[in-house]
Chains A and B, each alone.
Chain A
Amino acid sequence: MTIWNGPLEKIDEFRWCIPRTDGVIYANEHMVADIRNDKAAEQVANVAMLPGIVGNSLAMPDIHWGYGFPIGGVAATDVDAGGVVSPGGVGFDINCGVRLMRTRLTEDEVKPKLRELVYCLYNDIPAGVGSKGDIKISEKEERKLLVEGAKWVVEHGYGRREDIEYTEENGAIKGADPGSVSSRAYERGKSQSGTLGSGNHFIEVQVVDDIYDQATAEVFGVSKGQVVLMIHSGSRGLGYQVCDEYSKDMIGCLAKYNIEVPDRQLACAPVNSPEGKAYIGAMKCAANYAWANRQCLMHLARGAFEKVFSKGEYDLGLDLIYDVAHNIAKIEKYSIGGKERTLCVHRKGATRAFPPGHPELPAKYQKTGQPVIIPGDMGRNSYLLAGTKKAEETFYSTCHGAGRMMSRSEAVKRARGRSISGELEKKGIIVKSTGRETLAEEMPDAYKDVNEVVGVVMGAGISNKVCRMRPLGAIKG
């Protein structure tokens, strides 16, 4: 395996720069050793060469080797100064993201019915390769869904109006252009609305096991011992196809706009070019599809809770805390050197983390800052954080998860002869998965320790810890 032989200079306890480039990696001393083990640092340096980049090419502490951008990469380009948009800076799974739903149930109430709950989620939520969802609509309706996002599915009976308020962009980012989505992308996304997917996508039942910021926890509606549900999924085949087609198209843009990049997967076009605009219009459609998808998944999960606990969703307090993307490019305004500039912020495996008082946050979270949802691995913890003013230095971005440390094939090899589900069950965690090797690939040892990742973003001041969760049960694709 290729490793990073170049230098990494320590800026402070939580920040490292790649000399002679504008690359900065957030990590602690211990993590830097792992970061040197693959090509992620080289990718951070490559991203720093994108035309129109503003400030540094950044990487969050869950950084790992991706394609084009590293996973955990953040880069902002100046839209009015030839700044580019790169499909490789968003990824194939456009608007892969997470949502967190609270319940009024306690761990003691859920424990006796946990197996039943996990099996019910497993039965009712389509997951795994080739699964089909229960929304079957014409291409004409699908075009509406791509513009209206989560609102479309709520209006068709999958959830409630207030869910929309607690979804980033209200579940439908403006400027989605269905005309930029090819019929092949429609075809690939068709029949996949309301499906979980596979790989690292999951639905997890968790219990809040530690609170760090009582006042913010109260606003987010969580307390110690309370059960919550986390959903991790994205835009399924539609998003993959959009990224695929525009990555190809943009290779042609490199010569046209005289752009040089060290890796073809960094192919890009100026945000204001016809190609850049078309990609953004299509990317927004895929993002809306993903918000609609997670909304459907939550609706199905609510149904499972109702069945198992024989109570209605309102009695069970099944309310959405927040839904946030971690693979997306957004047009946002920042004050740079005293001047307001419009930037295209790429977050590839990085979570938006707006500070208190940001106009795009719902009224309820104005004082606390944005809820930031950080999934960990299936055996350890997940976190709920809050956005901070300090994160302006990362274009209001933070980590998105634990970050892989081990390749999937290595994980499968190390899991040979072990029962991952058996090991988890000994810890009281019940897991069901459709894929034969998913559990081995996703085993806890394959990931960095999310506690350490969160320790870095907290230490660097780009997010605040609100509470920590521990897994009780999960379904995987």
Chain B
Amino acid sequence: MVILYYMKRYEQFPHTADIGVRAFGKDIREIFENAAFAMFDIAADLEGLKCDIEERFELAADNSEELLVAWLDELLYRFYTKHIILSRFEITELTDKVLKAKAFGREIGSNRNRLKTEIKAATYSDLAIKKSEGGYLVEIIFDV
């Protein structure tokens, strides 16, 4: 018998001016993937988006939290400069200081109607990766 665990990937928590995201994962790797998914899910309508572009990432930072912000900001940078909506994320290597990943998406081109919210950046405000029941969670505030 196969047991399918369903874990919510993220939820929004109320923040007066910006957007607060609580991302979940069974491990840190999944936190990174789900936080990235949350960001693009807020920025654009990802439903049924066909991915035909692959982007690769290699990033370094001083600790996990700073690495997470670096990852999210790098994704935003590619989104705004290469005009690609990314919707699938795969962390291939992760330590406290180094990340290697792939992300898959599609050019904005004729998908402009999918765009929803302009996210300016991921912030460090009150950022902390925490252990939770059944895994990890992180709360991030995005400036919009």
Contact = CB atoms under 8 A, between A and B. Distances in A.
A220 to B, nearest CB: 30
Given A240-B120, A241-B77, A409-B12, A129 B115 contact: yes
Contact of A129 (B19, B66, B116): B116
B15 interface: yes
B108 A67 contact: no
Contacts of A410: 14
A73 to B, nearest CB: 12
Contacts of B77: 184, 188, 241
Contacts of A247: 123-124
Interface residues of A, number: 49
Contacts of A267: 124
Nearest to B65: A264
B66 A68 contact: no
A404 B69 CA distance: 25
B51 interface: no
Interface in B123-141: 123-127, 141
Interface string B86-107: 0000000000000000000000
Contacts of B120: 92-93, 240
Contacts of B65: 264
B19 A248 contact: no
Contacts of B18: 66-67, 408
A441 B144 CA distance: 11
A68 B20 CA distance: 14
Nearest to B13: A1
Given A92-B143, A237-B80, A263-B126, A65 B17 contact: yes
A267 B127 CA distance: 13
Interface in B66-83: 66, 69-70, 73, 77, 80-81, 83
A184 B12 CA distance: 29
Interface residues of B, number: 38
Contacts of B15: 38, 65, 407
Interface in A266-307: 267
A65 B15 CA distance: 7
Interface string A75-116: 000000000000010011100000000000000000000000
B112 interface: yes
B54 interface: no
Nearest to A406: B16
A129 B143 contact: no
A410 B141 CA distance: 16
Contact of B80 (A64, A188, A265): A188
Nearest to A197: B118
A67 B144 contact: no
A39 B14 CA distance: 12
A92 B80 contact: no
Interface in A225-263: 237, 240-241, 243-244, 247-248, 251-252, 263
A407 B14 contact: yes
B121 A240 contact: yes
A406 B44 CA distance: 22
A198 interface: yes
A265 B17 contact: no
Nearest to B124: A264
Contacts of A252: 62
A187 B112 CA distance: 20
Contacts of B108: 130
Contacts of A251: 62, 66, 124
Contact of A198 (B17, B19, B73, B118): B118
Contacts of B13: 1
Given A237-B80, A240-B121, A263-B126, A66 B17 contact: yes
Given A38-B16, A252-B62, A409-B19, 17 more contacts: A64-B16, A67-B124, A67-B143, A129-B116, A130-B83, A190-B81, A199-B117, A240-B143, A248-B70, A263-B125, A265-B124, A267-B124, A405-B16, A408-B117, A435-B115, A435-B117, A435-B118
12 contacts: A67-B18, A71-B17, A129-B44, A129-B118, A188-B80, A198-B118, A240-B143, A263-B125, A263-B126, A407-B20, A409-B19, A410-B14
Interface of B: 12-20, 43-45, 62, 65-66, 69-70, 73, 77, 80-81, 83, 108, 112, 115-118, 120-121, 123-127, 141, 143-144
3 tightest Cβ-Cβ pairs between the two chains A and B:
A67-B125, A264-B124, A407-B14
